[in-house]
């Protein structure tokens, strides 16, 4: 099963409620003077919740405890960012020592607030060269303005799932590699009913579908959200208008926004047996590496394959890229056992055998260079597509921000309006979006 993925809307709601950490927070002081060889019990809060995920992490911690007989780890599963942040603000003996989050774009808050400890001193004194251990993109989303307050603990990469049987029937010999090929194939694969509805859509571009948050397809253009001074620059980037034009062309070629959105509302829950790709209402679909395991477990009644998402026609050299995200792991600043906590963080994030075993167990992408190239990784070709995406030098992740995912929520709301035809002047709309993002960032910093 996949790791739980909180929607960005949650982050914005928490900001509005004053529950997420602000830059002016005053976290309780912990200690990095503890003896990591002394007997101690660490509390580790994480968000995994399904039985398979929880077992895999419990097994990982059991292996750690065998190596560190003096350290006992108390695991607390299914903890949300909201609960964790409230506990870290309150401090006290009930607060966790080790913390994790599925929301990489909240790292800016964790680092700037000081609630998560700076890990660079721990990396240096234990001889861990982070640039040699971790891929650059993963390091980028676990740090903020030079502060490495988190490390990656497995990753997710996004690619294209496609129905091989539908492709064969339509006479398509390989998955599309460019956006124009995606549009062409989507039209060929779309099947209508006698009453004008849909039996199947080639590729549903609508942004409210499952994992179709606009930032994930936008990654194929390699956008820069902010300039060197932290100012939003989406209106300045030609890729922004190109992205929305491509999305609009995909919609128009398959019948228009209204009919597609009506068909989307007939889809079942993303994580259920009524997932639209599994029920063959979609011939192609953007999703993460975990979907393959779910398709196998569900015994999908068709042959399917995976490939990188197509890229813009004028950037063919970037084919193979994709959107990256993942779990981040850190040490609570209020922990009185930071050296012992670091031993756990270091083991879970840098030990090659551990990272590979955990990745295989929950079907996620490993998060170190050595683990990505390990022969012990799952050999399934469908899964290895996502390893290739993770290694691609053009793959990108969302940049961290002081207000977490609020800028992504602003982009989502804007994208919903664009696809519904409510933004007549795209350039003007993008300038307004930049102004909104800048105002939100300024408010969170004051």
Q: 10 Å Cβ neighbour count for 83?
A: 15
Question: Chain-wide mean pLDDT for the chain?
Answer: 91
Residue 446 has what pLDDT? 65
Confidence (pTM): 0.89
What CATH class does 8-156+325-393 carry? alpha beta
Whether residue 13 has pLDDT greater than 60? no
% of residues, the chain, pLDDT over 90: 81
What is the rounded CA–CA span in Å between residue 338 and residue 327? 20
- Please count the CA atoms within 13 angstroms of the CA of 209 that sit on its side-chain side: 28
The pLDDT value recorded for residue 402 is: 77
pLDDT, residue 2, reads 46
Question: What φ, ψ does residue 264 adopt, rounded to 5°?
Answer: -60, -35
Q: What angle do CA 170, 171, 173 make, to 5 degrees?
A: 120
Strand pairing partners for 3?
none
The beta-carbon contacts of 228-231 under 8 Å, at least 24 apart in sequence, are: 230/441, 231/434, 231/438
List Cα–Cα distances, 426 to 38, 237, 242, 258, in angstroms. 61, 13, 11, 20
Exposure letters 165-196 (e unless 16+ CB within 10 A, then b): ebbeebebeebbbbbeebbebbebbbbeeeee
269 exposure class (CB count in 10 Å sphere: 0-12, 13-18, 19+):
exposed
Asked if residue 8 has pLDDT above 60, the reply is no
Instruction: Render pLDDT for 94-111 as a digit per residue (tens, 0 to 9).
Output: 899 999 999 898 898 899
Beta strands 323-331 and 98-101 are antiparallel
**DSSP conformational letter for 271:** T
Domains 8-156+325-393 and 158-323 share a fold: yes
**Nearest alpha carbon to residue 209 among 174, 238, 247:** 247
Task: Kindly give, in sequence order, each residue whose CB lies less than 8 Å from that of residue 243, ignoring residues fewer than 6 positions away.
Answer: 214, 217, 218, 221, 223
pLDDT higher than 80, residue 21: no
Beta strands 198-203; 396-397: pairing state? unpaired
Q: What is the pLDDT of residues 42-67, one digit of tens each?
A: 999 999 998 999 999 999 999 999 99
Is the Cα torsion angle 140, 141, 142, 144 positive or negative in sign? positive
Phi, psi dihedrals of residue 30, rounded to the nearest 5°: -100, -155
Confirm if 19 and 80 have CB atoms less than 8 A apart: no
- 76-81: average pLDDT: 94
- Give dist(CA 1, CA 53) in Å, integer: 7
- Mean local confidence (pLDDT), 329-356: 97
DSSP string, 378-443: ---HHHHHHHHHHH-TT-EEPPP-TTTTHHHHHHHHHHHHHHTT--S-HHHHHHHHHHHHHHHHHH
What Cα–Cα distance (Å) separates residue 165 from each residue in 126, 127, 171, 270, 320?
52, 51, 10, 22, 23
Residues in the chain: 446
Q: Domain boundaries in the chain?
A: 8-156+325-393, 158-323
158-323 is classed CATH 3.40.50.150: no
Burial string for 36-49 (b: 16+ CB within 10 Å, else e) reads beeebebbbbbbbe
Q: Calculate Rg over the CA atoms of the chain.
A: 22
Model confidence over 271-285: pLDDT tens digits?
999 999 999 999 999
Q: How confident is the model at residue 28 (pLDDT cuts 50, 70, 90)?
A: low
Contacts of 382 (CB under 8 A, 6+ apart): 292, 304, 305, 306
pLDDT per residue over 121-176, tens digit each? 999 999 999 999 999 999 999 999 899 999 999 999 999 999 999 999 999 999 99
């Amino acid at each position: 099963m996949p790791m739980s993925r909180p929607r960005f809307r949650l982050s914005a709601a928490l900001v509005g409620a004053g529950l997420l950490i602000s830059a002016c927070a005053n976290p309780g002081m912990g200690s990095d003077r503890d003896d990591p060889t002394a007997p101690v019990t660490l509390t580790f809060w994480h968000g995994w919740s399904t039985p398979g995920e929880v077992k895999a992490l419990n097994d990982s911690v059991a292996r750690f405890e065998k190596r560190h007989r003096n350290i006992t780890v108390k695991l607390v599963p299914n903890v949300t960012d909201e609960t964790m942040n409230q506990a870290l603000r309150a401090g006290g003996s009930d607060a966790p020592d080790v913390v994790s989050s599925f929301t990489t774009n909240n790292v800016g808050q964790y680092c700037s607030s000081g609630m998560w400890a700076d890990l660079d001193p721990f990396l240096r004194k234990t001889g861990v060269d982070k640039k040699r251990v971790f891929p650059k993109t993963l390091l980028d989303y676990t740090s903020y303005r030079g502060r490495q307050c988190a490390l990656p603990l497995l990753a997710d990469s996004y690619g294209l799932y496609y129905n091989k049987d539908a492709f064969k029937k339509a006479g398509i010999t390989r998955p599309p590699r460019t956006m124009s090929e995606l549009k062409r194939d989507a039209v060929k694969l779309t099947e209508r009913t006698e009453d004008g509805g849909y039996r199947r859509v080639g590729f549903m571009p609508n942004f409210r579908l499952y994992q179709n948050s606009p930032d994930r397809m936008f990654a194929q253009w390699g956008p820069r959200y902010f300039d060197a001074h932290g100012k939003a620059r989406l209106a300045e980037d030609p890729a922004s208008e190109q992205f929305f034009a491509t999305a609009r062309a995909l919609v128009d070629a398959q019948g228009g926004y209204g009919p597609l959105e009506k068909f989307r509302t007939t889809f079942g829950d993303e994580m259920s047996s009524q997932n639209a790709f599994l029920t063959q209402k979609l011939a192609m679909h953007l999703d993460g590496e975990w979907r393959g395991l779910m398709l196998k477990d569900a015994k999908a009644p068709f042959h399917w394959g995976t490939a990188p998402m197509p890229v813009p026609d004028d950037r063919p050299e970037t084919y193979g890229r994709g959107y990256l995200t993942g779990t981040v792991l850190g040490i609570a600043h209020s922990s009185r056992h930071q050296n012992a906590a670091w031993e756990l963080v270091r083991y879970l994030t840098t030990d090659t055998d551990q990272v590979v075993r955990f990745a295989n167990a929950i079907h996620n992408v490993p998060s170190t260079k050595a683990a990505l190239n390990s022969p012990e990784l799952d050999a399934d070709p469908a899964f290895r597509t996502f390893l290739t995406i993770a290694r691609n030098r053009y793959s990108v992740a969302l940049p961290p921000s002081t207000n977490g995912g609020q800028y992504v929520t602003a982009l989502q709301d804007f994208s919903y309006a664009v696809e519904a035809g409510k933004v007549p002047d795209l350039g003007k709309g993008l300038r307004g979006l930049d102004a909104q993002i800048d105002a939100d960032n300024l408010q969170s910093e004051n």
